[in-house]
Chain A
Protein backbone atom coordinates (compact mmCIF):
# COMPACT_ATOMS: atom_id res chain seq x y z
CA UNK A 1 0.00 0.00 0.00
CA UNK A 2 3.03 2.28 0.40
CA UNK A 3 3.49 5.23 -1.94
CA UNK A 4 6.77 6.69 -0.74
CA UNK A 5 8.16 9.88 -2.27
CA UNK A 6 10.92 9.86 -4.90
CA UNK A 7 14.33 9.70 -3.12
CA UNK A 8 15.67 12.78 -4.93
CA UNK A 9 13.19 15.04 -3.11
CA UNK A 10 13.96 13.80 0.40
CA UNK A 11 16.09 15.97 2.74
CA UNK A 12 15.81 13.51 5.60
CA UNK A 13 14.02 10.27 6.33
CA UNK A 14 13.75 7.61 8.98
CA UNK A 15 11.97 4.33 9.58
CA UNK A 16 10.99 2.89 12.96
CA UNK A 17 9.78 -0.62 13.69
CA UNK A 18 7.11 -1.14 16.35
CA UNK A 19 5.71 -4.22 18.02
CA UNK A 20 2.15 -4.53 19.26
CA UNK A 21 1.58 -4.38 23.05
CA UNK A 22 5.12 -3.04 23.62
CA UNK A 23 3.97 -0.19 25.87
CA UNK A 24 7.21 0.58 27.68
CA UNK A 25 8.68 2.92 25.09
CA UNK A 26 5.44 4.32 23.69
CA UNK A 27 6.20 7.86 22.55
CA UNK A 28 9.87 7.24 21.81
CA UNK A 29 9.42 7.35 18.03
CA UNK A 30 7.66 10.71 18.31
CA UNK A 31 10.56 12.09 20.41
CA UNK A 32 13.14 10.80 17.91
CA UNK A 33 11.36 12.24 14.89
CA UNK A 34 11.07 15.54 16.73
CA UNK A 35 14.82 15.60 17.45
CA UNK A 36 15.65 14.82 13.82
CA UNK A 37 13.44 17.62 12.51
CA UNK A 38 14.83 20.09 15.07
CA UNK A 39 18.32 19.35 13.77
CA UNK A 40 17.18 20.33 10.29
CA UNK A 41 15.79 23.65 11.47
CA UNK A 42 12.14 22.81 10.72
CA UNK A 43 9.82 25.49 12.24
CA UNK A 44 8.67 24.63 15.77
CA UNK A 45 4.93 24.73 15.07
CA UNK A 46 5.37 22.25 12.20
CA UNK A 47 7.46 19.98 14.44
CA UNK A 48 4.80 20.05 17.17
CA UNK A 49 2.09 18.98 14.72
CA UNK A 50 4.28 16.17 13.39
CA UNK A 51 5.19 15.08 16.96
CA UNK A 52 1.48 14.82 17.86
CA UNK A 53 0.68 12.90 14.66
CA UNK A 54 3.61 10.52 15.21
CA UNK A 55 2.68 10.01 18.87
CA UNK A 56 -0.94 9.10 18.19
CA UNK A 57 0.11 6.87 15.28
CA UNK A 58 2.60 5.10 17.52
CA UNK A 59 -0.02 4.53 20.22
CA UNK A 60 -2.42 3.13 17.60
CA UNK A 61 0.13 0.61 16.28
CA UNK A 62 1.24 -0.48 19.76
CA UNK A 63 -2.36 -0.77 20.93
CA UNK A 64 -4.03 -2.51 18.01
CA UNK A 65 -1.50 -4.05 15.61
CA UNK A 66 0.81 -7.07 15.73
CA UNK A 67 3.64 -5.02 14.26
CA UNK A 68 4.13 -1.97 12.14
CA UNK A 69 6.44 0.72 10.84
CA UNK A 70 6.39 4.49 11.04
CA UNK A 71 8.38 6.40 8.44
CA UNK A 72 8.94 10.11 8.18
CA UNK A 73 10.14 12.18 5.26
CA UNK A 74 11.27 15.79 5.25
CA UNK A 75 10.53 17.10 1.75
CA UNK A 76 11.07 20.62 0.33
CA UNK A 77 7.47 21.66 0.97
CA UNK A 78 6.17 19.29 3.67
CA UNK A 79 6.84 16.72 6.35
CA UNK A 80 5.19 13.34 5.84
CA UNK A 81 4.39 10.61 8.35
CA UNK A 82 3.62 7.26 6.78
CA UNK A 83 2.59 4.23 8.83
CA UNK A 84 1.78 0.68 7.89
CA UNK A 85 0.82 -2.15 10.20
CA UNK A 86 -0.36 -5.72 10.17
CA UNK A 87 -3.10 -6.46 12.62
CA UNK A 88 -6.80 -6.33 13.10
CA UNK A 89 -7.36 -3.31 10.87
CA UNK A 90 -10.29 -0.91 11.27
CA UNK A 91 -13.80 -2.17 10.57
CA UNK A 92 -15.44 1.21 10.10
CA UNK A 93 -13.08 4.13 9.39
CA UNK A 94 -15.83 6.76 9.45
CA UNK A 95 -16.68 5.71 13.00
CA UNK A 96 -13.02 5.55 14.08
CA UNK A 97 -12.60 9.14 12.91
CA UNK A 98 -15.36 10.33 15.24
CA UNK A 99 -14.18 11.78 18.55
CA UNK A 100 -14.98 9.43 21.41
CA UNK A 101 -15.26 6.21 19.43
CA UNK A 102 -12.85 3.65 20.91
CA UNK A 103 -12.25 -0.07 21.26
CA UNK A 104 -9.38 0.42 23.75
CA UNK A 105 -8.74 -1.85 26.71
CA UNK A 106 -7.44 -0.93 30.18
CA UNK A 107 -3.74 -1.25 29.29
CA UNK A 108 -4.19 1.51 26.70
CA UNK A 109 -6.18 3.72 29.07
CA UNK A 110 -3.51 3.39 31.74
CA UNK A 111 -1.10 5.16 29.36
CA UNK A 112 -3.47 8.12 29.12
CA UNK A 113 -4.89 7.14 25.73
CA UNK A 114 -7.81 5.12 24.39
CA UNK A 115 -10.56 7.73 24.65
CA UNK A 116 -11.27 7.80 20.94
CA UNK A 117 -9.19 10.88 20.16
CA UNK A 118 -6.27 9.32 18.27
CA UNK A 119 -7.38 9.38 14.64
CA UNK A 120 -9.39 12.63 15.11
CA UNK A 121 -6.22 14.26 16.50
CA UNK A 122 -4.11 12.97 13.61
CA UNK A 123 -6.60 14.33 11.09
CA UNK A 124 -6.90 17.64 12.94
CA UNK A 125 -3.15 18.35 12.85
CA UNK A 126 -2.67 17.14 9.25
CA UNK A 127 -2.87 19.36 6.19
CA UNK A 128 -3.33 16.22 4.14
CA UNK A 129 -4.56 12.93 5.56
CA UNK A 130 -5.21 9.52 4.06
CA UNK A 131 -6.14 6.22 5.69
CA UNK A 132 -6.86 2.82 4.19
CA UNK A 133 -7.64 -0.26 6.25
CA UNK A 134 -8.42 -3.87 5.52
CA UNK A 135 -10.12 -5.62 8.45
CA UNK A 136 -8.06 -8.63 9.47
CA UNK A 137 -5.03 -7.43 7.47
CA UNK A 138 -3.84 -4.02 8.63
CA UNK A 139 -3.91 -0.27 8.19
CA UNK A 140 -2.03 2.28 6.08
CA UNK A 141 -1.94 5.92 7.09
CA UNK A 142 -0.29 8.93 5.49
CA UNK A 143 -0.31 12.39 6.98
CA UNK A 144 1.39 15.54 5.72
CA UNK A 145 2.07 18.89 7.34
CA UNK A 146 2.99 21.67 4.92
CA UNK A 147 6.07 23.85 5.39
CA UNK A 148 5.84 27.49 4.46
CA UNK A 149 7.68 28.55 1.32
CA UNK A 150 10.64 30.02 3.18
CA UNK A 151 11.93 26.76 4.62
CA UNK A 152 15.41 25.63 3.60
CA UNK A 153 16.82 22.47 5.16
CA UNK A 154 19.76 23.13 7.46
CA UNK A 155 22.72 20.88 7.99
CA UNK A 156 22.56 18.91 11.23
CA UNK A 157 23.23 20.96 14.33
CA UNK A 158 25.39 19.13 16.81
CA UNK A 159 23.93 20.76 19.92
CA UNK A 160 20.56 19.10 19.41
CA UNK A 161 21.76 15.64 18.51
Chain B
Protein backbone atom coordinates (compact mmCIF):
# COMPACT_ATOMS: atom_id res chain seq x y z
CA UNK B 1 0.00 0.00 0.00
CA UNK B 2 1.43 3.38 -0.96
CA UNK B 3 1.74 6.17 1.61
CA UNK B 4 -0.65 8.22 -0.54
CA UNK B 5 -3.31 5.48 -0.14
CA UNK B 6 -2.72 5.36 3.62
CA UNK B 7 -3.29 9.11 3.74
CA UNK B 8 -6.55 8.72 1.84
CA UNK B 9 -7.86 5.82 3.93
CA UNK B 10 -7.14 7.72 7.15
CA UNK B 11 -8.17 11.21 5.96
CA UNK B 12 -4.71 12.13 7.20
CA UNK B 13 -2.60 15.25 6.89
CA UNK B 14 0.99 14.87 5.68
CA UNK B 15 3.20 16.84 8.06
CA UNK B 16 6.57 15.57 6.81
CA UNK B 17 7.32 13.64 3.61
CA UNK B 18 5.12 15.14 0.85
CA UNK B 19 7.85 13.93 -1.51
CA UNK B 20 7.61 10.32 -0.28
CA UNK B 21 3.96 9.55 -1.02
CA UNK B 22 4.99 6.75 -3.40
CA UNK B 23 6.63 4.85 -0.57
CA UNK B 24 5.30 1.28 -0.37
CA UNK B 25 4.40 0.01 3.12
CA UNK B 26 2.95 -3.46 3.70
CA UNK B 27 2.82 -3.83 7.49
CA UNK B 28 2.12 -1.81 10.62
CA UNK B 29 2.61 -1.78 14.38
CA UNK B 30 0.32 0.15 16.77
CA UNK B 31 1.47 1.19 20.25
CA UNK B 32 1.93 4.13 22.57
CA UNK B 33 4.63 2.38 24.55
CA UNK B 34 7.97 2.90 22.82
CA UNK B 35 9.63 0.03 24.67
CA UNK B 36 7.09 -2.30 23.04
CA UNK B 37 7.82 -0.76 19.66
CA UNK B 38 11.56 -1.28 20.25
CA UNK B 39 10.89 -4.88 21.31
CA UNK B 40 8.49 -5.99 18.59
CA UNK B 41 8.18 -3.65 15.58
CA UNK B 42 10.03 -4.47 12.38
CA UNK B 43 11.99 -2.45 9.85
CA UNK B 44 9.91 -1.01 7.02
CA UNK B 45 6.59 -0.96 8.88
CA UNK B 46 4.20 1.92 9.58
CA UNK B 47 4.20 2.99 13.24
CA UNK B 48 0.73 3.98 14.45
CA UNK B 49 1.01 5.82 17.75
CA UNK B 50 -0.67 8.41 19.94
CA UNK B 51 2.70 9.45 21.37
CA UNK B 52 3.40 12.91 20.02
CA UNK B 53 6.84 13.62 21.48
CA UNK B 54 10.23 13.33 19.75
CA UNK B 55 10.97 9.91 21.27
CA UNK B 56 8.46 8.41 18.80
CA UNK B 57 10.62 9.67 15.93
CA UNK B 58 13.86 8.54 17.56
CA UNK B 59 12.31 5.10 18.14
CA UNK B 60 11.24 4.88 14.50
CA UNK B 61 14.73 5.83 13.40
CA UNK B 62 16.37 3.20 15.64
CA UNK B 63 14.36 0.46 13.90
CA UNK B 64 14.27 1.80 10.30
CA UNK B 65 10.50 2.20 10.51
CA UNK B 66 9.20 3.53 7.17
CA UNK B 67 6.75 6.18 8.41
CA UNK B 68 4.76 7.29 11.46
CA UNK B 69 1.03 7.90 11.63
CA UNK B 70 0.09 9.89 14.73
CA UNK B 71 -3.51 9.10 15.66
CA UNK B 72 -6.13 10.83 17.85
CA UNK B 73 -5.41 14.14 16.11
CA UNK B 74 -2.47 14.98 18.36
CA UNK B 75 -0.70 18.29 17.91
CA UNK B 76 2.98 17.84 17.12
CA UNK B 77 5.68 20.02 18.64
CA UNK B 78 8.13 21.93 16.46
CA UNK B 79 10.87 19.65 17.82
CA UNK B 80 8.99 16.51 16.69
CA UNK B 81 8.67 17.87 13.16
CA UNK B 82 12.26 19.13 13.06
CA UNK B 83 13.66 15.70 14.06
CA UNK B 84 11.39 13.87 11.59
CA UNK B 85 12.63 16.14 8.80
CA UNK B 86 16.24 15.66 9.84
CA UNK B 87 15.87 11.86 9.98
CA UNK B 88 13.73 11.83 6.79
CA UNK B 89 10.80 9.97 8.36
CA UNK B 90 7.39 10.76 6.82
CA UNK B 91 4.73 11.84 9.35
CA UNK B 92 0.96 11.62 8.89
CA UNK B 93 -1.61 12.84 11.41
CA UNK B 94 -5.13 11.42 11.55
CA UNK B 95 -8.04 12.32 13.82
CA UNK B 96 -9.08 8.66 14.08
CA UNK B 97 -8.42 6.80 17.33
CA UNK B 98 -5.85 4.02 17.27
CA UNK B 99 -8.47 1.27 16.90
CA UNK B 100 -10.11 2.97 13.90
CA UNK B 101 -6.75 3.80 12.33
CA UNK B 102 -5.54 0.19 12.59
CA UNK B 103 -8.91 -1.27 11.57
CA UNK B 104 -9.29 0.85 8.44
CA UNK B 105 -5.82 -0.09 7.23
CA UNK B 106 -6.33 -3.79 8.06
CA UNK B 107 -9.61 -3.80 6.10
CA UNK B 108 -7.71 -2.52 3.08
CA UNK B 109 -5.10 -5.27 3.29
CA UNK B 110 -2.39 -4.04 5.61
CA UNK B 111 -1.22 -6.58 8.21
CA UNK B 112 0.67 -6.42 11.50
CA UNK B 113 4.46 -6.54 11.18
CA UNK B 114 4.27 -9.48 13.54
CA UNK B 115 1.06 -11.31 14.32
CA UNK B 116 1.55 -12.34 17.90
CA UNK B 117 4.30 -12.00 20.41
CA UNK B 118 4.80 -15.73 21.06
CA UNK B 119 5.70 -16.35 17.42
CA UNK B 120 7.96 -13.33 17.44
CA UNK B 121 9.82 -14.59 20.50
CA UNK B 122 10.32 -18.05 18.99
CA UNK B 123 11.61 -16.69 15.69
CA UNK B 124 14.05 -14.39 17.45
CA UNK B 125 15.41 -17.24 19.55
CA UNK B 126 16.37 -19.23 16.44
Contacts and interface: CB of A to CB of B under 8 A. Distances in A.
Given A26-B58, A115-B36, 9 more contacts: A24-B54, A27-B61, A44-B43, A54-B62, A55-B59, A111-B53, A112-B51, A117-B35, A120-B39
A56 B56 CA distance: 13
Nearest to A30: B62
Contacts of B53: 110-112
Interface of B is mostly: helix
Interface residues of A, number: 24
Contact of A112 (B32, B62, B79): B32
Contact of B62 (A55, A117, A118, A120): A55
Interface in A18-40: 24, 26-28, 30-31, 34
Chain B's interface size range is 20 to 34
A152 interface: no
B58 A48 contact: no
B33 interface: yes
B34 A31 contact: no
B8 interface: no
B35 A27 contact: no
A52 interface: yes
B61 A113 contact: no
Interface in B73-98: 79, 87
Contacts of B33: 112-113, 115, 117
